[in-house]
Amino acid sequence: MLSGIFYWVTLPLRTHLVGTHPVLSELIGGGTESIISAAAFARVGHGTLIVVLLAAIPGIMKFDPLYWWAGRLWGERIIALFGGKRKRGARYMGRVDRWGRKFTWPAVIIAPFLPIPNAIIFVIAGWAGMRLLTFVILDIIGTLLWAGLLSGLGYALGHHAVVVAQGISHYGLWVSIALVVVVMFFQVRSQRQMMREYAQTRAAAQQSGTGDPAGAGAAADHAPETDHAPEGDQAATS
């Protein structure tokens, strides 16, 4: 949640910086486009690859220890939340039970390369009892491998990637602002729909709750009438 909010809030700024100050953009967001652009700028003489790789560490990893900590605190509940409807978290927990650190250690290293949210892996690492220092070291290794791959691509593209990045900076600011507005619109719309559904469900529950006493009262009013008849018959008999 926190990383998602940060991503959308900083998107206009990162888009603006990717073609002018890509290392700064990399530090803020750690995005793929920022790393490639920074390496391309290094190819044409603006910066070095060492700086690009070092900037990727805080840029990519800034929220990773929080996910580890969440797994340490809330365990299976937070894993189920991140796992979603496909229950990927449950499958990974089963593998941890079977393989232990043979699964968690490589999983943290290759997390940037996996086609799943990295947060699931980091939460499971915390739940499995991995020490924070071990987690950070493995995370740094994986981050450097990922950033090295992207830096190699950007360095190979060189001037062509610089031209593309400068074009993104020129036009991307307004595009990203428009994108943020669209996302916020649909988020607010979804929240309002959920609130309406909740209000309707609550109103229906209250209505059914008030309907039961009325039915019970009607049954109570009817009951004495059937009880009086035997008394009258008994009095007549006596």
Look-up: residue for tokens 């290392």? 23
pLDDT at position 215, please?
A: 45
Q: How many domains does the chain have?
A: 1
Identity of the amino acid at 112: P
As a whole number of angstroms, the distance between CA 128 and CA 75 comes to: 8
Quote the pTM value.
Answer: 0.64
Cα–Cα nearest to 142, from 167, 118, 165, 110: 110
**Residue 177 maps to a domain:** no
Q: Is residue 104 part of a domain?
A: yes
130 within a domain of the structure (yes/no) = yes
* Higher-confidence position of 16 and 59: 59
| pLDDT tens string 87-130 | 565 666 666 667 666 778 898 999 999 888 888 889 888 888 89
Q: For 108, left (φ over 0), alpha (ψ -120 to 50), or beta?
A: alpha
Instruction: State the Cα–Cα distance between residues 164 and 36, nearest whole angstrom.
Output: 11
In a domain, 114, yes or no: yes
Domain of residue 119: give its range. Answer: 64-142
Answer for the pair 38, 161: CB distance below 8 angstroms, yes or no: no
Structure tokens at 68: 């580890």
